[in-house]
Structure 1
Amino acid sequence: MGAMLIETERTPNPATLKFLPGRQVMAAGTRDFATPEEAEASPLAEALFALGDVTGVFFGGNFISVTIAPGAEWSDVKPDVLATLLDHFTADMPLFRGGTATGIHIPADDGDQDSGFADDPEDAEIVAQIRELIDTRVRPAVANDGGDIIYRGFDKGKVYLRMQGACSGCPSSTATLKNGIEALLKHYVPEVTEVLSV
Protein backbone atom coordinates (compact mmCIF):
# COMPACT_ATOMS: atom_id res chain seq x y z
CA MET A 1 0.00 0.00 0.00
CA GLY A 2 1.50 3.31 -1.08
CA ALA A 3 1.80 6.39 1.06
CA MET A 4 -1.58 7.72 1.97
CA LEU A 5 -2.43 11.31 1.19
CA ILE A 6 -4.96 13.14 3.30
CA GLU A 7 -6.29 16.28 1.69
CA THR A 8 -7.38 19.26 3.72
CA GLU A 9 -10.10 21.74 2.86
CA ARG A 10 -11.10 24.95 4.54
CA THR A 11 -14.69 25.41 5.69
CA PRO A 12 -16.69 28.63 6.23
CA ASN A 13 -15.75 28.30 9.89
CA PRO A 14 -12.07 29.27 10.36
CA ALA A 15 -11.84 27.02 13.44
CA THR A 16 -12.88 23.95 11.42
CA LEU A 17 -10.90 22.09 8.79
CA LYS A 18 -12.12 19.23 6.67
CA PHE A 19 -9.79 16.24 6.22
CA LEU A 20 -10.36 13.91 3.26
CA PRO A 21 -8.62 10.55 3.64
CA GLY A 22 -9.51 9.54 0.08
CA ARG A 23 -11.64 6.66 1.28
CA GLN A 24 -15.00 6.10 2.89
CA VAL A 25 -15.26 7.25 6.50
CA MET A 26 -18.91 6.56 7.27
CA ALA A 27 -20.87 3.95 5.33
CA ALA A 28 -24.14 5.63 6.28
CA GLY A 29 -25.19 8.66 8.27
CA THR A 30 -22.86 11.08 10.03
CA ARG A 31 -21.52 11.33 13.55
CA ASP A 32 -20.86 14.44 15.59
CA PHE A 33 -18.66 14.54 18.70
CA ALA A 34 -18.87 17.72 20.73
CA THR A 35 -17.18 16.54 23.96
CA PRO A 36 -14.38 14.14 24.92
CA GLU A 37 -17.03 12.00 26.65
CA GLU A 38 -18.96 11.55 23.41
CA ALA A 39 -15.67 10.80 21.63
CA GLU A 40 -15.09 7.74 23.83
CA ALA A 41 -17.33 5.84 21.40
CA SER A 42 -14.68 6.20 18.70
CA PRO A 43 -10.94 5.53 19.13
CA LEU A 44 -10.24 8.02 16.34
CA ALA A 45 -12.38 10.82 17.79
CA GLU A 46 -10.89 10.14 21.21
CA ALA A 47 -7.34 10.37 19.84
CA LEU A 48 -8.18 13.68 18.15
CA PHE A 49 -9.67 15.16 21.33
CA ALA A 50 -6.58 13.95 23.22
CA LEU A 51 -4.48 16.37 21.15
CA GLY A 52 -5.72 19.06 23.51
CA ASP A 53 -6.84 21.88 21.24
CA VAL A 54 -9.58 19.90 19.54
CA THR A 55 -13.13 20.82 20.62
CA GLY A 56 -15.19 19.06 17.96
CA VAL A 57 -14.92 16.09 15.61
CA PHE A 58 -17.42 15.26 12.89
CA PHE A 59 -17.44 12.16 10.66
CA GLY A 60 -19.07 12.45 7.24
CA GLY A 61 -19.30 10.02 4.33
CA ASN A 62 -15.80 10.69 3.03
CA PHE A 63 -14.37 13.29 5.38
CA ILE A 64 -13.61 14.14 8.98
CA SER A 65 -14.10 17.72 10.17
CA VAL A 66 -12.06 18.86 13.14
CA THR A 67 -12.79 22.03 15.12
CA ILE A 68 -10.19 23.62 17.36
CA ALA A 69 -10.52 25.85 20.39
CA PRO A 70 -10.59 29.65 20.13
CA GLY A 71 -7.02 30.89 20.26
CA ALA A 72 -5.55 27.64 18.97
CA GLU A 73 -3.68 27.82 15.66
CA TRP A 74 -4.15 25.35 12.84
CA SER A 75 -0.46 25.61 12.04
CA ASP A 76 0.22 23.99 15.44
CA VAL A 77 -2.59 21.44 15.46
CA LYS A 78 -2.79 20.33 11.82
CA PRO A 79 0.37 18.14 11.77
CA ASP A 80 -0.88 16.28 14.87
CA VAL A 81 -4.34 15.80 13.39
CA LEU A 82 -2.85 14.51 10.13
CA ALA A 83 -0.56 12.12 12.02
CA THR A 84 -3.49 10.82 14.07
CA LEU A 85 -5.62 10.28 10.96
CA LEU A 86 -2.75 8.60 9.09
CA ASP A 87 -2.13 6.22 11.98
CA HIS A 88 -5.80 5.36 12.12
CA PHE A 89 -6.41 4.76 8.42
CA THR A 90 -3.06 3.09 7.70
CA ALA A 91 -3.75 0.61 10.48
CA ASP A 92 -7.34 0.14 9.22
CA MET A 93 -8.60 0.58 12.74
CA PRO A 94 -12.36 0.43 13.40
CA LEU A 95 -14.01 3.84 13.57
CA PHE A 96 -16.12 2.87 16.58
CA ARG A 97 -15.65 0.71 19.63
CA GLY A 98 -17.63 -2.49 19.80
CA GLY A 99 -20.54 -3.26 17.54
CA THR A 100 -21.28 0.29 16.39
CA ALA A 101 -19.05 0.09 13.36
CA THR A 102 -22.02 0.74 11.10
CA GLY A 103 -21.72 4.34 12.15
CA ILE A 104 -25.44 4.98 12.03
CA HIS A 105 -25.85 7.20 15.00
CA ILE A 106 -29.06 7.82 16.83
CA PRO A 107 -28.38 10.84 19.07
CA ALA A 108 -29.59 10.38 22.60
CA ASP A 109 -31.64 13.57 22.44
CA ASP A 110 -33.56 12.51 19.37
CA GLY A 111 -36.60 11.22 21.26
CA ASP A 112 -39.52 13.12 19.79
CA GLN A 113 -41.49 12.79 23.00
CA ASP A 114 -39.29 15.01 25.13
CA SER A 115 -38.08 17.43 22.48
CA GLY A 116 -41.53 18.91 21.98
CA PHE A 117 -41.40 18.50 18.21
CA ALA A 118 -43.93 15.79 17.59
CA ASP A 119 -45.03 16.11 13.99
CA ASP A 120 -48.79 16.35 13.60
CA PRO A 121 -50.02 13.38 11.54
CA GLU A 122 -52.12 15.86 9.53
CA ASP A 123 -48.88 17.50 8.42
CA ALA A 124 -47.44 14.23 7.10
CA GLU A 125 -47.44 15.39 3.49
CA ILE A 126 -45.78 18.72 4.32
CA VAL A 127 -43.19 16.98 6.50
CA ALA A 128 -42.41 14.52 3.70
CA GLN A 129 -41.82 17.46 1.33
CA ILE A 130 -39.61 19.26 3.84
CA ARG A 131 -37.52 16.14 4.55
CA GLU A 132 -37.14 15.46 0.83
CA LEU A 133 -35.92 19.02 0.18
CA ILE A 134 -33.48 18.90 3.08
CA ASP A 135 -32.06 15.56 1.91
CA THR A 136 -31.78 16.47 -1.77
CA ARG A 137 -31.03 20.20 -1.71
CA VAL A 138 -29.74 21.26 1.68
CA ARG A 139 -27.62 18.41 3.04
CA PRO A 140 -25.42 17.91 -0.06
CA ALA A 141 -24.55 21.63 0.00
CA VAL A 142 -23.82 21.58 3.72
CA ALA A 143 -21.72 18.41 3.41
CA ASN A 144 -19.39 20.40 1.15
CA ASP A 145 -18.76 22.67 4.09
CA GLY A 146 -18.00 19.76 6.41
CA GLY A 147 -21.26 19.53 8.31
CA ASP A 148 -24.76 18.23 8.32
CA ILE A 149 -28.31 19.38 9.01
CA ILE A 150 -30.88 17.20 10.66
CA TYR A 151 -34.62 17.67 10.47
CA ARG A 152 -36.10 17.87 13.97
CA GLY A 153 -39.73 18.81 13.53
CA PHE A 154 -42.48 20.91 11.97
CA ASP A 155 -44.99 22.78 14.09
CA LYS A 156 -47.49 25.45 13.01
CA GLY A 157 -45.44 26.58 10.05
CA LYS A 158 -42.09 26.49 11.85
CA VAL A 159 -39.43 24.03 10.75
CA TYR A 160 -36.88 22.99 13.38
CA LEU A 161 -33.44 21.93 12.17
CA ARG A 162 -30.26 20.96 13.95
CA MET A 163 -26.83 21.95 12.64
CA GLN A 164 -23.82 19.67 13.13
CA GLY A 165 -20.12 19.66 12.39
CA ALA A 166 -18.61 22.75 10.80
CA CYS A 167 -22.06 24.25 10.48
CA SER A 168 -22.97 24.33 14.13
CA GLY A 169 -20.56 26.99 15.29
CA CYS A 170 -19.82 29.05 12.25
CA PRO A 171 -21.02 32.64 12.00
CA SER A 172 -22.51 32.04 8.57
CA SER A 173 -24.68 29.15 9.77
CA THR A 174 -27.46 31.36 11.09
CA ALA A 175 -27.42 33.36 7.87
CA THR A 176 -27.42 30.16 5.80
CA LEU A 177 -30.30 28.81 7.82
CA LYS A 178 -32.33 32.00 7.63
CA ASN A 179 -31.69 33.10 4.06
CA GLY A 180 -30.92 30.02 2.05
CA ILE A 181 -32.84 27.22 3.66
CA GLU A 182 -35.83 29.27 4.77
CA ALA A 183 -36.22 30.78 1.29
CA LEU A 184 -35.90 27.37 -0.34
CA LEU A 185 -38.45 25.68 1.92
CA LYS A 186 -40.93 28.57 1.71
CA HIS A 187 -40.66 28.52 -2.06
CA TYR A 188 -41.54 24.84 -2.37
CA VAL A 189 -43.66 24.41 0.73
CA PRO A 190 -45.92 27.46 1.14
CA GLU A 191 -47.01 26.21 4.59
CA VAL A 192 -43.54 26.96 5.99
CA THR A 193 -43.36 30.33 7.74
CA GLU A 194 -40.03 30.11 9.56
CA VAL A 195 -36.95 27.94 9.96
CA LEU A 196 -35.36 27.67 13.40
CA SER A 197 -32.21 25.99 14.66
CA VAL A 198 -32.41 23.82 17.77
Structure 2
Amino acid sequence: MENINIKIENTTNNTIIKFVSDTLIVNRGSYEYNNIDEAKGAPFIQQLFYLPFVKKVFVGANFIAIQRFDIVEWEDVQEEVRSQIEAYINTGKKVIEENNDTKKEAIEVYAEVTPNPSVMKFGTNKALTQSDIELKNIEEASLYSPLAKALFNFPFVKEIFVSENYISITKYDVVEWNEVYQEVRTFIRTYLQDNKVILSEIPQKKAQEENQIQVENLDETSTKIVEILEEHIKPAVASDGGNIAFKSYNPENKQVNVILQGACSGCPSSTITLKNGIEALLKEMLPNQINEVIAING
Protein backbone atom coordinates (compact mmCIF):
# COMPACT_ATOMS: atom_id res chain seq x y z
CA MET A 1 0.00 0.00 0.00
CA GLU A 2 1.28 3.44 -0.93
CA ASN A 3 2.35 5.57 2.02
CA ILE A 4 0.02 8.42 2.96
CA ASN A 5 1.79 11.69 3.72
CA ILE A 6 0.69 14.37 6.18
CA LYS A 7 1.81 17.98 5.80
CA ILE A 8 1.40 20.89 8.19
CA GLU A 9 -0.54 24.01 7.21
CA ASN A 10 -0.93 27.15 9.32
CA THR A 11 -4.27 28.93 9.66
CA THR A 12 -5.18 32.53 10.40
CA ASN A 13 -5.69 31.48 14.03
CA ASN A 14 -2.23 30.90 15.52
CA THR A 15 -3.63 28.40 18.06
CA ILE A 16 -4.93 26.15 15.26
CA ILE A 17 -2.92 24.25 12.68
CA LYS A 18 -4.07 21.75 10.07
CA PHE A 19 -2.52 18.36 9.39
CA VAL A 20 -3.42 17.76 5.76
CA SER A 21 -3.50 14.32 4.14
CA ASP A 22 -2.92 13.56 0.46
CA THR A 23 -5.93 11.24 0.59
CA LEU A 24 -9.42 11.33 2.13
CA ILE A 25 -9.69 10.93 5.89
CA VAL A 26 -13.50 10.94 6.03
CA ASN A 27 -15.93 10.47 3.18
CA ARG A 28 -18.63 12.91 4.21
CA GLY A 29 -19.19 15.77 6.60
CA SER A 30 -16.82 17.50 8.95
CA TYR A 31 -16.64 17.04 12.68
CA GLU A 32 -15.76 18.96 15.81
CA TYR A 33 -14.74 17.50 19.16
CA ASN A 34 -14.43 19.74 22.22
CA ASN A 35 -13.28 17.07 24.70
CA ILE A 36 -12.44 13.40 25.07
CA ASP A 37 -16.03 12.43 25.96
CA GLU A 38 -17.39 13.80 22.69
CA ALA A 39 -14.82 11.64 20.88
CA LYS A 40 -16.33 8.42 22.21
CA GLY A 41 -16.34 5.97 19.33
CA ALA A 42 -13.38 7.71 17.67
CA PRO A 43 -10.39 6.16 19.48
CA PHE A 44 -7.71 8.07 17.59
CA ILE A 45 -9.36 11.42 18.36
CA GLN A 46 -9.48 10.37 22.01
CA GLN A 47 -5.78 9.51 21.75
CA LEU A 48 -5.09 13.07 20.57
CA PHE A 49 -6.92 14.47 23.61
CA TYR A 50 -4.45 12.64 25.87
CA LEU A 51 -1.92 15.21 24.68
CA PRO A 52 -2.19 17.86 27.42
CA PHE A 53 -2.12 20.82 25.03
CA VAL A 54 -5.01 19.68 22.80
CA LYS A 55 -8.07 21.90 23.27
CA LYS A 56 -10.27 21.04 20.26
CA VAL A 57 -10.07 18.72 17.26
CA PHE A 58 -11.70 19.36 13.88
CA VAL A 59 -11.85 16.67 11.19
CA GLY A 60 -12.54 17.50 7.54
CA ALA A 61 -12.43 15.52 4.33
CA ASN A 62 -8.64 15.47 4.08
CA PHE A 63 -7.37 17.09 7.27
CA ILE A 64 -7.28 17.08 11.04
CA ALA A 65 -7.09 20.54 12.60
CA ILE A 66 -6.12 20.92 16.24
CA GLN A 67 -6.53 23.90 18.52
CA ARG A 68 -3.99 24.08 21.33
CA PHE A 69 -4.01 25.51 24.83
CA ASP A 70 -1.42 28.22 25.47
CA ILE A 71 0.84 25.95 27.52
CA VAL A 72 2.95 25.20 24.40
CA GLU A 73 3.83 26.71 21.04
CA TRP A 74 3.04 24.71 17.92
CA GLU A 75 6.62 24.85 16.70
CA ASP A 76 7.63 22.78 19.74
CA VAL A 77 5.15 19.93 19.21
CA GLN A 78 3.73 20.03 15.67
CA GLU A 79 6.21 17.55 14.15
CA GLU A 80 5.51 15.00 16.87
CA VAL A 81 1.75 15.34 16.27
CA ARG A 82 2.21 15.16 12.49
CA SER A 83 4.18 11.91 12.82
CA GLN A 84 1.57 10.45 15.14
CA ILE A 85 -1.29 11.25 12.74
CA GLU A 86 0.66 9.97 9.72
CA ALA A 87 1.54 6.71 11.46
CA TYR A 88 -2.08 6.07 12.47
CA ILE A 89 -3.55 6.81 9.04
CA ASN A 90 -0.99 4.50 7.41
CA THR A 91 -2.28 1.61 9.52
CA GLY A 92 -5.44 1.73 7.40
CA LYS A 93 -7.70 2.20 10.41
CA LYS A 94 -10.53 4.72 10.20
CA VAL A 95 -10.13 8.02 12.02
CA ILE A 96 -13.90 8.25 12.50
CA GLU A 97 -16.60 5.60 12.21
CA GLU A 98 -18.98 7.69 10.14
CA ASN A 99 -22.09 5.89 11.32
CA ASN A 100 -21.28 6.93 14.88
CA ASP A 101 -23.99 9.15 16.34
CA THR A 102 -21.75 10.81 18.91
CA LYS A 103 -19.85 12.97 16.44
CA LYS A 104 -20.80 16.58 15.75
CA GLU A 105 -20.78 18.10 12.31
CA ALA A 106 -18.82 21.34 12.21
CA ILE A 107 -18.59 24.05 9.59
CA GLU A 108 -15.63 26.39 9.94
CA VAL A 109 -15.14 29.57 7.92
CA TYR A 110 -11.86 31.46 8.04
CA ALA A 111 -11.48 35.01 6.76
CA GLU A 112 -8.10 35.68 5.14
CA VAL A 113 -6.67 38.87 3.69
CA THR A 114 -5.33 38.72 0.12
CA PRO A 115 -2.76 40.77 -1.80
CA ASN A 116 -5.73 42.60 -3.32
CA PRO A 117 -7.04 45.05 -0.68
CA SER A 118 -10.50 44.95 -2.25
CA VAL A 119 -10.80 41.18 -1.89
CA MET A 120 -11.27 39.00 1.18
CA LYS A 121 -10.97 35.21 1.02
CA PHE A 122 -13.38 33.13 3.09
CA GLY A 123 -12.03 29.58 3.37
CA THR A 124 -14.08 26.69 4.68
CA ASN A 125 -13.74 23.01 5.51
CA LYS A 126 -16.83 22.22 3.41
CA ALA A 127 -16.55 21.43 -0.29
CA LEU A 128 -18.36 24.16 -2.21
CA THR A 129 -18.02 23.32 -5.90
CA GLN A 130 -16.19 21.10 -8.37
CA SER A 131 -16.05 23.87 -10.99
CA ASP A 132 -14.72 27.36 -10.27
CA ILE A 133 -17.24 30.07 -11.09
CA GLU A 134 -17.01 33.87 -11.17
CA LEU A 135 -20.14 35.95 -10.70
CA LYS A 136 -20.03 39.62 -11.63
CA ASN A 137 -23.47 40.70 -10.42
CA ILE A 138 -26.66 39.55 -8.73
CA GLU A 139 -28.28 38.69 -12.06
CA GLU A 140 -25.59 36.07 -12.78
CA ALA A 141 -25.78 34.86 -9.20
CA SER A 142 -29.54 34.40 -9.52
CA LEU A 143 -28.91 31.96 -12.36
CA TYR A 144 -26.10 29.93 -10.85
CA SER A 145 -25.64 30.34 -7.09
CA PRO A 146 -28.22 30.95 -4.34
CA LEU A 147 -25.34 31.55 -1.90
CA ALA A 148 -23.77 34.21 -4.12
CA LYS A 149 -27.18 35.79 -4.67
CA ALA A 150 -27.62 36.08 -0.91
CA LEU A 151 -24.15 37.61 -0.54
CA PHE A 152 -24.93 40.22 -3.20
CA ASN A 153 -27.59 41.54 -0.83
CA PHE A 154 -24.73 43.07 1.14
CA PRO A 155 -24.54 46.52 -0.49
CA PHE A 156 -20.74 46.55 -0.55
CA VAL A 157 -20.35 43.27 -2.50
CA LYS A 158 -19.12 43.87 -6.05
CA GLU A 159 -18.04 40.44 -7.38
CA ILE A 160 -17.85 36.86 -6.11
CA PHE A 161 -15.57 33.99 -7.05
CA VAL A 162 -16.40 30.49 -5.76
CA SER A 163 -13.78 27.75 -5.77
CA GLU A 164 -13.45 24.28 -4.26
CA ASN A 165 -13.20 25.33 -0.63
CA TYR A 166 -13.25 29.11 -0.55
CA ILE A 167 -15.19 32.19 -1.62
CA SER A 168 -13.37 35.36 -2.68
CA ILE A 169 -15.46 38.49 -2.40
CA THR A 170 -14.58 41.79 -4.06
CA LYS A 171 -16.03 44.84 -2.33
CA TYR A 172 -16.78 48.39 -3.36
CA ASP A 173 -14.73 51.08 -1.65
CA VAL A 174 -17.67 52.28 0.49
CA VAL A 175 -16.43 50.20 3.45
CA GLU A 176 -13.22 48.66 4.77
CA TRP A 177 -13.00 44.91 5.24
CA ASN A 178 -12.18 45.25 8.94
CA GLU A 179 -15.63 46.79 9.39
CA VAL A 180 -17.63 44.02 7.72
CA TYR A 181 -15.65 40.78 7.33
CA GLN A 182 -16.88 39.29 10.61
CA GLU A 183 -20.52 39.79 9.57
CA VAL A 184 -19.86 38.16 6.19
CA ARG A 185 -17.96 35.27 7.78
CA THR A 186 -20.82 34.60 10.19
CA PHE A 187 -23.36 34.78 7.36
CA ILE A 188 -21.46 32.24 5.23
CA ARG A 189 -20.96 29.89 8.17
CA THR A 190 -24.66 29.99 9.11
CA TYR A 191 -25.68 29.48 5.47
CA LEU A 192 -23.47 26.40 5.17
CA GLN A 193 -24.56 25.01 8.54
CA ASP A 194 -28.18 25.26 7.41
CA ASN A 195 -27.19 23.07 4.44
CA LYS A 196 -28.67 25.51 1.93
CA VAL A 197 -27.93 25.26 -1.79
CA ILE A 198 -24.52 26.68 -2.73
CA LEU A 199 -24.57 26.33 -6.51
CA SER A 200 -27.38 25.45 -8.84
CA GLU A 201 -26.47 23.03 -11.62
CA ILE A 202 -24.13 25.06 -13.81
CA PRO A 203 -25.24 25.04 -17.47
CA GLN A 204 -22.58 23.79 -19.89
CA LYS A 205 -22.35 27.21 -21.52
CA LYS A 206 -21.42 28.87 -18.23
CA ALA A 207 -18.96 26.10 -17.39
CA GLN A 208 -17.24 26.63 -20.72
CA GLU A 209 -17.10 30.37 -20.08
CA GLU A 210 -15.45 29.80 -16.72
CA ASN A 211 -13.08 27.03 -17.79
CA GLN A 212 -12.47 28.74 -21.12
CA ILE A 213 -11.30 25.81 -23.29
CA GLN A 214 -11.62 22.04 -23.15
CA VAL A 215 -8.16 20.51 -22.70
CA GLU A 216 -8.76 17.74 -25.22
CA ASN A 217 -9.11 20.34 -28.00
CA LEU A 218 -5.73 21.98 -27.39
CA ASP A 219 -2.49 21.68 -29.35
CA GLU A 220 0.60 20.22 -27.69
CA THR A 221 2.08 23.52 -26.47
CA SER A 222 -1.25 24.75 -25.13
CA THR A 223 -1.73 21.47 -23.28
CA LYS A 224 1.68 21.88 -21.65
CA ILE A 225 0.83 25.46 -20.68
CA VAL A 226 -2.39 24.31 -19.02
CA GLU A 227 -0.51 21.56 -17.16
CA ILE A 228 2.07 24.06 -15.85
CA LEU A 229 -0.65 26.48 -14.76
CA GLU A 230 -2.55 23.71 -12.98
CA GLU A 231 0.47 22.22 -11.21
CA HIS A 232 2.67 25.21 -10.44
CA ILE A 233 0.58 28.38 -10.60
CA LYS A 234 -2.99 27.67 -9.51
CA PRO A 235 -2.15 26.34 -6.01
CA ALA A 236 -0.16 29.49 -5.26
CA VAL A 237 -2.78 31.95 -6.49
CA ALA A 238 -5.58 29.92 -4.84
CA SER A 239 -3.85 30.38 -1.47
CA ASP A 240 -4.30 34.12 -2.04
CA GLY A 241 -7.96 33.74 -3.03
CA GLY A 242 -7.40 33.99 -6.77
CA ASN A 243 -7.43 31.92 -9.92
CA ILE A 244 -5.86 31.96 -13.36
CA ALA A 245 -7.60 30.42 -16.37
CA PHE A 246 -5.97 29.63 -19.71
CA LYS A 247 -7.64 31.38 -22.65
CA SER A 248 -5.45 30.89 -25.73
CA TYR A 249 -1.97 30.47 -27.20
CA ASN A 250 -0.84 31.98 -30.48
CA PRO A 251 2.04 29.91 -31.96
CA GLU A 252 2.91 32.68 -34.44
CA ASN A 253 3.77 35.41 -31.92
CA LYS A 254 4.12 32.93 -29.01
CA GLN A 255 1.68 34.90 -26.87
CA VAL A 256 -0.31 33.32 -24.04
CA ASN A 257 -3.63 34.87 -23.04
CA VAL A 258 -5.02 34.17 -19.58
CA ILE A 259 -7.94 35.34 -17.47
CA LEU A 260 -7.42 36.42 -13.86
CA GLN A 261 -10.22 35.72 -11.40
CA GLY A 262 -11.03 36.25 -7.74
CA ALA A 263 -8.39 38.17 -5.80
CA CYS A 264 -6.11 38.22 -8.87
CA SER A 265 -8.57 40.31 -10.89
CA GLY A 266 -7.74 43.97 -10.46
CA CYS A 267 -5.03 43.27 -7.91
CA PRO A 268 -2.32 45.98 -7.85
CA SER A 269 0.41 43.33 -7.73
CA SER A 270 -1.07 41.11 -10.46
CA THR A 271 1.07 42.63 -13.23
CA ILE A 272 4.24 41.88 -11.28
CA THR A 273 3.04 38.34 -10.57
CA LEU A 274 2.12 37.85 -14.21
CA LYS A 275 5.48 39.01 -15.59
CA ASN A 276 7.96 37.98 -12.88
CA GLY A 277 6.16 34.82 -11.86
CA ILE A 278 3.93 33.22 -14.47
CA GLU A 279 5.64 34.49 -17.62
CA ALA A 280 9.11 33.72 -16.26
CA LEU A 281 8.11 30.18 -15.26
CA LEU A 282 6.52 29.41 -18.63
CA LYS A 283 9.60 30.72 -20.46
CA GLU A 284 11.82 28.56 -18.28
CA MET A 285 9.75 25.38 -18.65
CA LEU A 286 8.90 25.91 -22.34
CA PRO A 287 12.07 27.44 -23.80
CA ASN A 288 11.72 29.31 -27.10
CA GLN A 289 7.94 28.76 -27.10
CA ILE A 290 6.77 31.73 -24.98
CA ASN A 291 7.33 35.42 -25.70
CA GLU A 292 4.68 37.04 -23.53
CA VAL A 293 1.81 36.31 -21.15
CA ILE A 294 -1.08 38.73 -21.18
CA ALA A 295 -4.12 38.92 -18.90
CA ILE A 296 -6.94 39.86 -21.24
CA ASN A 297 -9.06 41.16 -18.35
CA GLY A 298 -6.44 43.17 -16.52
Structure 1 segments unaligned to the other structure (5+ residues): 113-120
Counterpart secondary structure, 1:195:
strand
Are the aligned partners of 2:257 and 2:294 in contact in 1 as well (CA < 8 Å)?
yes
Are the aligned partners of 1:95 and 1:101 in contact in 2 as well (CA < 8 Å)?
no
The match for 1:134 is 229
User: Aligned equivalents of 1:143 and 1:58: distance in 2?
Assistant: 11
The match for 1:161 is 258
Are the aligned partners of 1:57 and 1:65 in contact in 2 as well (CA < 8 Å)?
yes
Give the share of equivalent positions with the same residue, in percent.
35
Q: Which amino acid aligns with 2:236?
A: A
Structure with greater proportional helix content: 1
User: Aligned equivalents of 1:192 and 1:101: distance in 2?
Assistant: 34
Moved over 6 A (4+): none
Structure of greater relative contact order (alpha carbons < 8 Å, 6+ residues apart): 1
Deviation of 1:3 (Å) = 6.0
**CA 1:131–1:5: 2 relative to 1, 3 Å:** closer
The farther-off stretch of 85-94 and 155-164 is 85-94
- Residue among 29, 37, 40 paired with 2:131: 29
Structure 2 segments unaligned to the other structure (5+ residues): 1-103
The farther-off stretch of 186-195 and 80-89 is 80-89
Counterpart secondary structure, 1:100:
coil
What does 1:16-165 align with in structure 2 at a 5 Å threshold? 16-26=119-129, 28-40=130-142, 41-97=144-200, 99-100=201-202, 105-107=207-209, 110=212, 124-155=219-250, 156=252, 157-165=254-262
**Greater Rg by CA:** 2
**CA 1:150–1:10: 2 relative to 1, 3 Å:** same
- Residue among 262, 268, 272 paired with 1:171: 268
The alignment covers a number of residue pairs equal to 186
User: Aligned equivalents of 1:54 and 1:76: distance in 2?
Assistant: 13
Q: Which amino acid aligns with 2:170?
A: T
2:293 is the counterpart of 1:195: yes
Are the aligned partners of 1:94 and 1:101 in contact in 2 as well (CA < 8 Å)?
no
User: Aligned equivalents of 2:212 and 2:231: distance in 1?
Assistant: 22
For normalisation by structure 1, the TM-score amounts to: 0.85
